[in-house]
Structure 1
Amino acid sequence: MEKKWWKESVVYQIYPRSFMDSNGDGIGDIKGITSKLDYLKELGIDVIWLSPVYQSPNDDNGYDISDYQNIMDEFGTMEDMDELLAEMHARNMKLMMDLVVNHSSDEHKWFVESRKSKDNPYRDYYIWRPGKDGEEPNNWTSFFSGSAWQYDEEIEEYFLHLFSKKQPDLNWENPTLRKEIYDMMTWWLDKGIDGFRMDVINLISKAEGLPSAPGGEKYDWGGEFFMNGPRVHEYLQEMNREVLSKYDMMTVGECPGASTKDAAKYANEEGTELNMIFTFEHMDLDSGPGGKWDVKPWKLADLKAVMTKWQKDLEGKGWNSLYLNNHDQPRMVSRLGNDQDYRVESAKMLATFLHMLQGTPYIYQGEELGMTNVQFESIEEYNDIEIQNMYREKVIEGNEDHQKVMEAIYVKGRDNARTPIQWDDSENAGFTTGTPWLKVNQNYKEINAKYALEDKESVFYYYQKLIKLRKELDIIVYGTYDLILEEEENIYAYTRTLADEKLLVMCNFTAVETKFNLPEHIPFTSSELLINNYDVQNCSDISSIKLRPYESRAYLLK
Structure 2
Amino acid sequence: MTVPDRSPHADPAADPQWFRSAVVYQIYPRSFADSDGDGVGDLRGIIGKLDYLERLGVDVVWLSPVYRSPQDDNGYDISDYRDIDPLFGSLADLDELIEGLHARGMKLVMDLVVNHTSDEHPWFEESRASKDSPRRDWYWWRPPRPGHEPGTPGAEPNNWGSFFSGSAWQFDEASGEYYLHLFSRKQPDLNWENTEVRHAVYTMMNWWLDRGVDGFRMDVINFISKDPALADTPIHEGELHSHDRRGYACGPRIHEFLHEMHRAVFAHRDPGLLTVGEMPSVTVEDAVLFTDPDRHELDMVFQFEHVNLDHGGGSKWRPGRMRLTDLKASFGRWQKGLEERGWNSLSWGNHDQPRIVSRWGDDGEYRELSAKMLAGVLHLHRGTPYVYQGEELGMTNMAFAGIDAHRDIEVLNHYREATGGLGLDPVQVLESIAPLNRDNARTPVQWDAGPNAGFTTGTPWIVVNPNAAEINAADQVDREDSVFAFYRELIRLRHELPVIADGDFTMLLPEDEAVYAFTRRLDATELLVLGNFSGEPQPVDLGDPGWGRAEVLLGNYPDSPGLDLGPWEFACRIRTV
Work out whether residues 533 and 551 of structure 1, in 8 Å CA contact, stay in contact via their aligned partners in 2: yes
Aligned letter for 1:181? V
Q: Which moved more, 1:304-313 or 1:288-297?
A: 288-297
Work out whether residues 269 and 319 of structure 1, in 8 Å CA contact, stay in contact via their aligned partners in 2: no
**What aligned pairs does 1:92-131 form with structure 2 within 5 A after superposition?**
92-131=105-144
Q: What's the CA shift string for 1:1-38, capped at 9, x where partnerless?
A: x7611111100000000000000000000000000000
Work out whether residues 235 and 241 of structure 2, in 8 Å CA contact, stay in contact via their aligned partners in 1: no
**Alpha carbons of structure 1 residues 271 and 46: separation in structure 2 relative to 1, 3 Å:** farther
Determine whether 1:187 maps to 2:207. yes
User: Counterparts of 1:208 and 1:273 in 2: how far apart (Å)?
Assistant: 22
Shift of residue 403 of structure 1? 2.4
The match for 1:38 is: 51
User: Counterparts of 1:166 and 1:554 in 2: how far apart (Å)?
Assistant: 48
Aligned letter for 2:227? A
Tell me which of 187, 193, 210 is aligned to 1:167.
187
The match for 1:546 is: 564
User: Counterparts of 1:95 and 1:31 in 2: how far apart (Å)?
Assistant: 15
The match for 1:57 is: 70
Tell me which of 423, 429, 433 is aligned to 1:409.
433
Determine whether 1:86 maps to 2:99. yes
Shift of residue 488 of structure 1? 1.8
**What aligned pairs does 1:466-505 form with structure 2 within 5 A after superposition?**
466-505=490-529
Provide the secondary structure at the position in 2 that maps to 1:462.
helix
Shift of residue 395 of structure 1? 1.8
The match for 2:171 is: 151
User: Counterparts of 1:209 and 1:407 in 2: how far apart (Å)?
Assistant: 39
Aligned letter for 1:243? V
User: Counterparts of 2:451 and 2:506 in 1: how far apart (Å)?
Assistant: 47
Work out whether residues 331 and 371 of structure 1, in 8 Å CA contact, stay in contact via their aligned partners in 2: yes
The match for 2:8 is: none
Shift of residue 404 of structure 1? 2.2
Aligned letter for 1:486? P
User: Counterparts of 1:493 and 1:147 in 2: how far apart (Å)?
Assistant: 44
User: Counterparts of 2:543 and 2:159 in 1: how far apart (Å)?
Assistant: 52
Determine whether 1:202 maps to 2:215. no
The match for 1:240 is: 262
Provide the secondary structure at the position in 2 that maps to 1:251.
strand
Tell me which of 212, 233, 257 is aligned to 2:281.
257
Shift of residue 290 of structure 1? 5.2
Tell me which of 349, 352, 377 is aligned to 1:353.
377
The match for 1:219 is: 241
Work out whether residues 212 and 222 of structure 1, in 8 Å CA contact, stay in contact via their aligned partners in 2: no
Q: What's the CA shift string for 1:450-491, capped at 9, x where partnerless?
A: 111242211000111111111110001100111011122210
Determine whether 1:530 maps to 2:521. no
**Alpha carbons of structure 1 residues 524 and 378: separation in structure 2 relative to 1, 3 Å:** closer
User: Counterparts of 1:314 and 1:483 in 2: how far apart (Å)?
Assistant: 14
User: Counterparts of 1:300 and 1:3 in 2: how far apart (Å)?
Assistant: 35
Provide the secondary structure at the position in 2 that maps to 1:196.
strand
User: Counterparts of 2:542 and 2:552 in 1: how far apart (Å)?
Assistant: 15
Provide the secondary structure at the position in 1 that maps to 2:163.
coil
Determine whether 1:142 maps to 2:166. no
Work out whether residues 349 and 551 of structure 1, in 8 Å CA contact, stay in contact via their aligned partners in 2: yes
Shift of residue 219 of structure 1? 2.0
Aligned letter for 2:188? P
Shift of residue 526 of structure 1? 6.8
CA RMSD of aligned residues (A): 1.5
User: Counterparts of 2:522 and 2:436 in 1: how far apart (Å)?
Assistant: 38
Determine whether 1:4 maps to 2:17. yes
Shift of residue 517 of structure 1? 1.5
Q: Which moved more, 1:165-174 or 1:464-473?
A: 464-473
Question: Which structure 1 residue ranges, 4+ long, deviate > 3 Å from structure 2?
Answer: 214-218, 522-526
Determine whether 1:343 maps to 2:367. yes
Shift of residue 434 of structure 1? 0.2
Shift of residue 524 of structure 1? 7.0
Tell me which of 196, 201, 205 is aligned to 1:176.
196
The match for 1:294 is: 318
Provide the secondary structure at the position in 2 that maps to 1:399.
coil
The match for 1:555 is: 573
Shift of residue 406 of structure 1? 1.6
User: Counterparts of 2:316 and 2:55 in 1: how far apart (Å)?
Assistant: 36
- Residue segments in structure 2 that go unaligned for 5+ positions in a row: 1-14, 150-154
Work out whether residues 344 and 370 of structure 1, in 8 Å CA contact, stay in contact via their aligned partners in 2: yes
Provide the secondary structure at the position in 1 that maps to 2:543.
coil
Determine whether 1:17 maps to 2:30. yes
Tell me which of 308, 315, 337 is aligned to 1:313.
337
TM-score where L is the length of structure 1: 0.97
Shift of residue 222 of structure 1? 3.9
Work out whether residues 197 and 253 of structure 1, in 8 Å CA contact, stay in contact via their aligned partners in 2: yes
Aligned letter for 2:246? E
TM-score where L is the length of structure 2: 0.93
Q: Which moved more, 1:59-68 or 1:264-273?
A: 264-273
**What aligned pairs does 1:269-288 form with structure 2 within 5 A after superposition?**
269-288=293-312
Determine whether 1:395 maps to 2:395. no
User: Counterparts of 1:353 and 1:110 in 2: how far apart (Å)?
Assistant: 45
Tell me which of 408, 430, 451 is aligned to 2:454.
430
Shift of residue 386 of structure 1? 0.3
User: Counterparts of 1:75 and 1:300 in 2: how far apart (Å)?
Assistant: 40
Q: What's the CA shift string for 1:55-86, capped at 9, x where partnerless?
A: 00000000000000000110000000001001
- Residue segments in structure 1 that go unaligned for 5+ positions in a row: none
Provide the secondary structure at the position in 2 that maps to 1:371.
coil
Identity %: 54
The match for 1:231 is: 253
Shift of residue 523 of structure 1? 6.5
Aligned letter for 2:553? L
Provide the secondary structure at the position in 2 that maps to 1:294.
coil
Shift of residue 316 of structure 1? 1.2
The match for 2:9 is: none
Shift of residue 145 of structure 1? 1.3
Provide the secondary structure at the position in 1 that maps to 2:294.
coil
Shift of residue 208 of structure 1? 2.3
User: Counterparts of 2:520 and 2:512 in 1: how far apart (Å)?
Assistant: 19
Work out whether residues 358 and 479 of structure 1, in 8 Å CA contact, stay in contact via their aligned partners in 2: yes
Determine whether 1:458 maps to 2:482. yes
Q: What's the CA shift string for 1:102-145, capped at 9, x where partnerless?
A: 00000000000001111111111101001112301111111111
